[in-house]
Chain A
Amino acid sequence: MGVDEPDDEREDEHEEAEPDVGGDAKKKKPRKKKKKNKNKEADEPFELLEDGQPTASPFWTPAPEGEFGNGGFPPQNEDWVDVTCVCDLAVEGMQVGEMIESSHFRLYDAMSAIEIMDPKMDSGYNNSEDMTLEKAEETGIVSSNLANEDLVAIMDQLLMYYLLWMEGHTIIQTCFCCLYLQDPARLLKPMPAFGAFVDAFLASCRRARDAVIRAGVFDDEDFLPTMFGTDLEVCVFSSDPNEVQKRLAAERSSLKKTGGAAAEAVADRLEFMGGYMLALVDLLDAGPVKVKGSDGKLASSRPASAADQLTNCLGLLERMEQSSVGSASSEALRCFDPSINRKLLVPGPPRTVEPIQDPKVVFGMWTSHVHELTLCTSLHQRQMSEMLQGCVTFKDQPNILPRSVAQICVSEPGLARRLMLDSMEQHLFPVEALQHCKKIAEPFVARCESLFLHLLKLAHSNNSRRFRRLAHVFADFNELQHEAWQLDEVLKTTFGANLRHARPCWVWIMEHCLQSMIDKLLLGFQLELYDEAELHMIYWYVDYLHGLRIYNLNELCYAKEQSQSAAGKKKPASAQRKDQAPGPRAVNKPRNPPAALLLLEATQSAVRGLFRLLAFCLSQGLLRSPPASEDGLAQRFVLRFRSFEHFRLPHLPSYQDFELSAVTAQAPVEGRSVLAAAQTSFLEAAQLLERVGAASKDGESRCDRRLPDDAKSLKKVVVANLLVVTQLLRSWDDGEELRGKKQVNVETLHHPSLVSLQVVPFKSKSRE
């Protein structure tokens, strides 16, 4: 489990070139992905003959080039002879299990053969039973006059299939399994309300698909953009969103006059679809409309308009859930038949798409989807650090459309640079340096912009891709670290005592690099890559990285406080020399640290507590990890942290460093001390979390929207693990034997990357 990082990391080294935004975008040639090791027998189904070339003979016809190697199959003018009798005669003389086979036959390859007439494997099986439009019209499955109740059911089903399409299923097995969409212009013109809904639906599908392709942050498992020959450009009345919206409004007025619960339900759905379509138009269509804000600056009005539409959609979803027909609509839903598109699928095991039956689940998913899109409307107000964590919350992946929309929004020209400069300014970088030290500052900023655009794109990729690709950014960070150091020297010379912090650029680069390292490590928890035996090792490293971050941020916040409090007062020369003197010195801590820094310190304490607690559990045999995992820790250390070696840290932790800490933590005689130390760490974390709440009220912390949720989940982790420590301490003090009597379950229950432990009675493996 999880010990295959090198192959994963090497897989994507080729990346297509990032758009050149004025920096040095590294252009790499795409190269073939390395194949993972497979059984040699399975590498090629056909072995070449002895001379390395397939020879033509009456009995072996090398497959010509073409689809499946069959340029001319099936033979058109072949003269066929019936050999059935010979087959039967041969079979009579064969024993059970006996085969007549080609000399190139391999049983291993035969296992992957598709079985004809198997309903799951043979996509052509019972093809005569596939639905056709003619059959549907003859049997009344499609109609030119639908009752409002049926319309509600069909619209809800289309909305459900849209979500399934967004989850990675093919469009022909989801949205386009609706028979009305096979010829919408003809079938839906007699039903203008349904026609208007479908126009809005298809307009949304077009934009969604374009957005996902344009953003380029999807993988195969996230989304399938292939259309399989279907046409998304079709429409019933119009494909112009404004025209569609007008028609929807007209139909809604007409339905209101009709009255009745069903008519109202249809009207709600028309309004929802129109609102959703317009929100996508606002978010994605080119050319943001600029309006002057209250501060006199030009700002785009499109995100605000999209936010209004999506907020309205959220309200409509609640009403739609109440008016959904649910299971009473099976008759109306006969117009959804995936078999109509079966011939469009490639031969092979058909992936059947199970529709979601429960309307509550469907509308819950829609609510989550719309909420995630709403987050994308406020991206311009976010800070760089928040953006690099991903602007959308990644709940229920793949979540591909909100991620793609977010990526498109942050790719807006100039936005990344603006965010970067804001972030640098917060790290006390003097913005005037862009003019006064232009020669060195401008290229540095340009190279940073290139890297940060890449990081922003990674932030919107799925977790797997992010985990793999983050391994390759540290070399770039290392180069920037050196450039930042040189730039800081120039800043010192240029600005002298006016420079508020000795190393603003270097600290800024360090901060983002350390954050990326921590993100990479913690992503491993969400991807379930780690064995229980190595969790303490991961937390040990994370603790170290947190420590470096906290050190730098303390210095930074202290410098901010000093410059604010001493505004107008010049420091004595001795104090200035002390601030800028090289060599180790005590950390300057701010008097009123911001909430984000306090949360970071709390997290570090919790991580340290977890390291100690897990080390103790491992030493007492409370974790159910296989011996091989424990024995291979040294190799795992190299594997997990190898990519960090490309960046020069103040001290590069080695396995010996870890072993020293772990051995101390795991020493049998020190068991109680280790538990007590873990308890101390968790209590420290709890105290810091109390201070986070108080500090959250200041202006700077209010900008970080995730802070309250992060603090809440960290608190749950701390409380859960404190309970475990208390239980173990009690057992220890009572002289209770833990090994073989108790075990510990480890899960990321309350936090995506910090585990919560639970003490349970020991269960032997034979009993499981």
Chain B
Amino acid sequence: MSTSMESFASVTTGKESLAPVAEGQVKDSESAKGFMGQLMNTTVRIHISDGRIITGQLWCFDQLRNAILLNCHETRVSAGPDQHRPLGPLVMVPGKHILKFEASRSASEAAAAAKYQEGDGPAGE
């Protein structure tokens, strides 16, 4: 595992890991890319380095782990109730600040179950 992956993996929120869902489906980079492609237009949640959580519809994801989200909200976790704030229609989250990337269970399961083959991959290839 690379150093960045280690730092990513070190952050947990107690949610179940993907492994049981994607077991047997996400084996390599190609299938991972396909999986990410299937997550497009679904709601994802990104934890960033200053503690905020950015929630929005995934629109684009690139080789530097930058993610572009639509119709985002920002959540601040504090001692009191979580504070939410709309961020606007289009937000780019730089990959270097992403600590954790979460998808909804339903979308993840659907993405894992979706059939895809080489040459018939997700948009962008």
Instruction: Please list the residues of chain A having a beta carbon within 8 angstroms of any beta carbon in chain B.
Output: 45, 58-61, 63, 67-70, 73-75, 78-105, 109-110, 112-117, 124-128, 343, 347-348
Q: How many chain B residues touch the partner (CB < 8 A)? A: 83
Residues of A within 8 A of B73 (CB): 70, 73-74
Of A61, A85, A112, A127, the contact of B90 (CB 8 Å cutoff): A112
CA distance A83 to B67 in the complex (A): 13
Provide 29 A-B residue pairs closer than 8 Å at the C-beta atoms, listed in order of the A residue: A45-B89, A59-B38, A70-B71, A73-B72, A74-B45, A74-B84, A75-B43, A81-B21, A83-B35, A84-B11, A84-B102, A85-B5, A86-B18, A87-B32, A87-B101, A88-B4, A89-B29, A89-B32, A90-B29, A93-B29, A94-B63, A95-B63, A99-B60, A99-B124, A105-B68, A110-B68, A112-B90, A115-B91, A116-B94
Tell whether, in the assembled complex, residue A60 and residue B41 are in contact, meaning their CB atoms are under 8 Å apart. Answer: yes
B105 lies within 8 A of A100 (CB): no
A86 and B22 within 8 A (CB): yes
Could you tell me the distance in whole angstroms from the C-beta of B64 to the nearest C-beta in chain A? 8
A94 and B62 form a contact (CB under 8 A): yes
Contact A98 B36 (CB under 8 A): no
Whether A80 lies near B57 (C-beta < 8 A) is no
Given contacts A74-B73, A124-B74, whether A83 and B102 have CB atoms under 8 Å apart is: yes
Contacts of A74 in B (CB 8 A): 45, 55, 73, 75, 84
Please give, as numbers and ranges, the residues of chain B lying within 8 Å of A81 by CB-CB distance.
15-18, 21, 102-105, 108
Identity of the chain A residue whose Cβ is nearest the Cβ of B105 in the assembled complex: A79
CA gap between A362 and B30 in the complex, in Å: 63
Which of A75, A88, A92, A93 is B104 in contact with, Cβ under 8 Å? A75
Query: Complex: how many Å from CA A365 to CA B91?
Result: 40
Closest 3 CB pairs of A and B: A93-B29, A89-B32, A90-B32
CB-CB nearest in chain A for B121: A100
Which positions 66-119 of chain B face chain A at CB distance < 8 Å?
A: 68, 70-76, 84-94, 97-98, 100-108, 110
B43 touches which of A61, A89, A124 (Cβ 8 Å): A61
B40-51: CB near A (< 8 Å → 1, else 0) gives 111111001111
Across-interface contacts of B56 in A (CB, < 8 A): 73
A100 touching B37 in the complex, CB below 8 Å, given contacts A70-B86, A74-B75, A124-B52: yes
Verify B90–A114 contact, CB threshold 8 A: yes
A646-B45 Cα distance, complex, nearest whole Å = 60
Flag if B45 contacts A80 (CB, 8 Å): yes
The residue from B4, B5, B9, B123 contacting A103, defined by CB atoms under 8 A apart: B123
Q: Is the CB of A78 within 8 A of B86?
A: no
Residues of the A chain whose Cβ atoms lie less than 8 Å from the Cβ of B48: 116-117
Contacts of B110 in A (CB 8 A): 58-59
Q: A58-B110, A81-B15, A110-B92 are in contact. List 18 more A-B contacts (CB 8 A).
A: A45-B90, A70-B73, A70-B86, A81-B105, A83-B39, A84-B9, A85-B18, A87-B65, A99-B62, A105-B40, A113-B91, A116-B54, A116-B93, A117-B50, A124-B52, A124-B74, A126-B50, A128-B50
The residue from A83, A91, A125 contacting B50, defined by CB atoms under 8 A apart: A125
Q: Which residues of A contact B36 (CB under 8 A)?
A: 86-87, 90, 100
Taken together as a complex, chains A and B put the C-alpha atoms of A115 and B33 apart, in Å, by 24
Min CB–CB distance B66 → chain A (angstroms):
9
CA distance A101 to B60 in the complex (A): 4
Partner of A347, one of B71, B88, B101: B88
Q: Is the CB of A116 within 8 A of B32?
A: no
Q: Evaluate contact between A67 and B86: CB separation under 8 angstroms.
A: yes
Cα A725 to Cα B111 with chains together (Å): 80
Q: A79-B104, A85-B9 in contact; A68/B2 too (CB < 8 A)? A: no
**Docked-complex contact A110 and B90, CB < 8 angstroms:** yes
The residue on A at minimum CB distance from B69 is: A113
* CA gap between A93 and B74 in the complex, in Å: 30
Please tell me if the beta carbons of B33 and A90 are within 8 angstroms of each other in the complex. Answer: yes
* Alpha-carbon distance A60/B123, docked complex (angstroms): 14
Q: Verify B43–A94 contact, CB threshold 8 A.
A: no
How many Å lie between the Cα of A67 and that of B89 in the bound state?
Answer: 10
- Given contacts A83-B103, A94-B33, A102 and B92 within 8 Å (CB-CB): no
Q: Contact between B60 and A82 (Cβ–Cβ < 8 Å)? A: no
Question: How far, in angstroms, from A285 to B57 measured CA to CA in the complex?
Answer: 52
Task: List B8-26 residues whose CB lies under 8 Å from chain A.
Answer: 8-9, 11-13, 15-18, 21-22, 26
- Minimum CB–CB distance from A121 to chain B (whole Å) comes to 9
**Complex-state Cα separation, A59 to B113, whole angstroms:** 13
Neighbouring B residues of A73 by C-beta, 8 Å:
55-56, 71-73, 86
Q: Within the assembled complex, what's the spacing in Å between the Cα atoms of A101 and B102?
A: 17
CB distance from B95 to the nearest CB of A (A): 8
Q: When the two chains form their complex, are residues B101 and A83 in contact, meaning their CB atoms are under 8 A apart? A: yes
Point out the residues of chain B lying under 8 angstroms from A343, CB to CB.
85
Residue of A nearest to B31 (CB): A89
Which interface residue of B45, B84, B98 has the most chain A CB atoms within 10 A? B45
- Contacting B63 at CB < 8 Å: which of A79, A99, A114? A99
Closest to B53 in A: A74
